[in-house]
Amino acid sequence: MKRILVLLLATLVVTTTLTAESSVWKVTRNGRTLFLGGTCHFLRASDLPLPPEFDTAFAEAKTVCFETDIAKLQSAEAQQLLMSQAVFTDGSTLASTLSPTAWLATKDWCAKAGLPAAQLQAFKPWMLMMTIMTVEVQRLGFTPEGVDAHYQKKAAAAAKGIRELETLEEQVAFVTHLGEGQESELIIATLRDIARVPEILTDLLAAWRSGDVAKIDHLMLEEMRTKFPRVYAALILRRNQAWQPKIEAMLATEPKELILVGVAHLAGKDGILEALKRKGCTIEQVKGGTAN
């Protein structure tokens, strides 16, 4: 499993430079329009300024819709909620929960990352995966001030409507149950991915720049569907299915919305773009900052 870490990064903390051919899609049905944009939750300084089609869609939209409540997600209350579920309370440890191979791989990664493995013993496996992702994206120069946070602030300042596709509690529940039943396999696959992350991201960026959603599906989702179907179902499929009627309801209203979601939710046979096409929507990429 060579791409599990990149998939998780792309879904939860996407770290790509978005281009004029691949960032934002215009969705039309029965004379009504909304915009659907792929986002990155972490950015590097070199990723700014954002491509102009984001601002084009933002300017036309009366409402901006995010995966969850960004302001609430960044609050101390939300962080406390997450951390309250991140540690064992029954005496278990990572060493007693993971397979010997997974725990050895974890200790090796901790040594390379300069983190004492003993300090992570109380973490549940999902929190270990999140810690690994955070450390690795920071090592590559990314910070958590991403597209979502940027447009949440802009929307609030412009007094635009702000909506969410899922509640904070739903997102926390999803994260805290990530990989249940396959924790050791996911940890091993995640740690095996680390050395290849820059290479895989290069391939992903090339596919993204060309707007090749089929290639994005191949790079990010195919292996997940076959080797970790439960993770794929929780990470992508069920969330897309839950969001679909909400997106269609917004499309049926007159004011335009800009809906911002992680790029992995847009690609593949189960992706939002394909689902909207099946429902009779016309999908057009917004190019060169022009939405009309």
pLDDT at 292 (0 to 100): 54
pLDDT tens digits, 84-129: 889 999 999 999 999 999 999 999 999 999 999 999 999 999 999 8
For residues 87 and 49, the model is more confident at 87
Per the confidence metrics, is the pTM higher than 0.75? yes
* pLDDT-wise least confident of 61-70, 133-142, 186-195, 237-246: 133-142
Q: Which residues partner with 39 through β-bridges? A: 262
Whole-angstrom CA distances from 203 to 16, 252, 269 are 11, 37, 20
Contacts of 259 (CB under 8 A, 6+ apart): 34, 35, 36, 37, 64, 65, 165, 247, 250
To the nearest 10 degrees (0 to 180), the angle between helices 168-176 and 76-84 is 30
pLDDT at 14: 37
Which of residues 5 and 223 earns the better pLDDT score? 223
Averaged pLDDT of the chain: 84
The band of 221, judged by pLDDT with boundaries at 50, 70 and 90, is confident
Residue-wise pLDDT for 139-152, tens only, equals: 877 776 778 888 99
Q: Dump strand ranges (E) for the chain.
A: 24-29, 32-39, 63-66, 161-164, 257-262, 282-285
**Would you state the pLDDT for residue 147?**
80
What pLDDT digit, counting tens, does each position of 255-277 carry? 999 999 987 899 899 999 999 99
Instruction: Give burial (CB, 10 Å; 0-12/13-18/19+) of 94.
Output: buried
Question: Any idea how long the chain is?
Answer: 292
For residue 15, the model assigns a pLDDT of 35
Residue percentage of the chain with pLDDT more than 70? 85
Q: Is the pLDDT of residue 205 over 50?
A: yes
CB 216 within 8 A of CB 127: no
AA identity, residue 254: E
3 pLDDT above the threshold of 60? no
Domain range list for the chain? 4-285
